[in-house]
Amino acid sequence: MDNILLQYNIGDVFLLLFGLTLLGVLVLRSRKVLSLHAGVFGLLFVLTPVGSLGIAEGSLLSEPLAYKFLGLVLVLASPILYTTARR
């Protein structure tokens, strides 16, 4: 079990959680909830120290800064989604 878990970093865990919870949010069909979801995960990616995002053997993204840029995109896109949402 440890050998499997050592192949991934905390960014991969956040990315997996983002994808799984996104499925639950999409069921609600609310763009406001979707924007809040994206904003929270964006903040998680941005505020996570780069040392925790070190590249592991089976890592999903190639650079630790890729997780930061993904978080920045989510943080910047979430207010736009929220203001354009009707419900």
SS3 call for 59: coil
**Euclidean distance between CA atoms 25 and 5, whole angstroms:** 27
Per-residue pLDDT reduced to its tens digit, 19-63: 999 999 999 999 999 999 999 999 999 999 988 777 766 677 778
- Provide CB contacts within 8 A for 58, sequence distance 6+: 7, 8, 12
Confidence at residue 61, expressed as pLDDT on a 0 to 100 scale: 74
Radius of gyration of the chain (CA): 14
